[in-house]
Amino acid sequence: MSVYSIFFYLIAAVMILSTALAVTRKNMVHAVLFLVISFLASALLFFLLGAPLLGILEVVIYAGAIMVLFLFVVMMIRIRAPEGSGFLLWHYMGAGGLSAVYVAACLLLIRHAGPGTGAAMAAAVAAPADFGQYLFERHWLGIEIVSLLLLVALIGVLHLGLSRAGRRSGKGGAH
């Protein structure tokens, strides 16, 4: 067992534990903070699996931007009533049925795994410069589409915020 595999199992344990804690927390601030730990661990995992650029982007975008956005919204919204925990039976039945289908699909995939999936993988690193060059050579259209998608999301969020503000100011003018 090399030092890499020890690192992998440590990171995997941290990820699973912090994600499980995040999913079960009642307090949403705690859940978001546990999820930040999980995303930092997955950034380490990306470094280990030979994707340093993705690891850095994971820290910047996921742990930095998305989770801070969640934290802002959680702190902005004050929940009056605590989250209802009175689950009906069909909630659990739905979750159990979904999990059963999921586990069955996983077992089927493991049974029909291709050759060489049980052997340890050779380490390889994609240097950020090579990765970026590959991305803009082979996936330039995808990059443009994604940038357009981000622009559309920005305009959509602005519209949602502005329409609400406009309605409120209109209401204030009517009084």
Q: Which is nearer to another protein, 124 or 174 (CB)?
A: 124
Phi, psi of 50 (to 5 degrees): 85, 30
Alpha carbons 160 and 171: distance in angstroms, whole number: 17
Is the separation of the CB atoms in 15 and 41 below 8 Å?
A: yes
Q: Which is nearer to another protein, 110 or 175 (CB)?
A: 110
Q: Which is nearer to another protein, 1 or 174 (CB)?
A: 1
Alpha carbons 91 and 84: distance in angstroms, whole number: 13
Q: Which is nearer to another protein, 113 or 174 (CB)?
A: 113
| 3-class DSSP state of 103 | helix
- Output the smallest distance, CB 12 to another protein, in A: 5
- Output the smallest distance, CB 86 to another protein, in A: 9
The tokens describing 73, both together, are: 């919204």
The tokens describing 151, both together, are: 């622009």
Give the CA count within 13 Å in the CB-facing half-sphere of 112. Answer: 5
Considering only CA atoms, give the Rg of the chain: 22
- Output the smallest distance, CB 170 to another protein, in A: 15
- Output the smallest distance, CB 71 to another protein, in A: 10
Q: Quick one: 57 exposed, middle or buried, by C-beta within 10 A (0-12, 13-18, 19+)?
A: middle
- Output the smallest distance, CB 109 to another protein, in A: 8
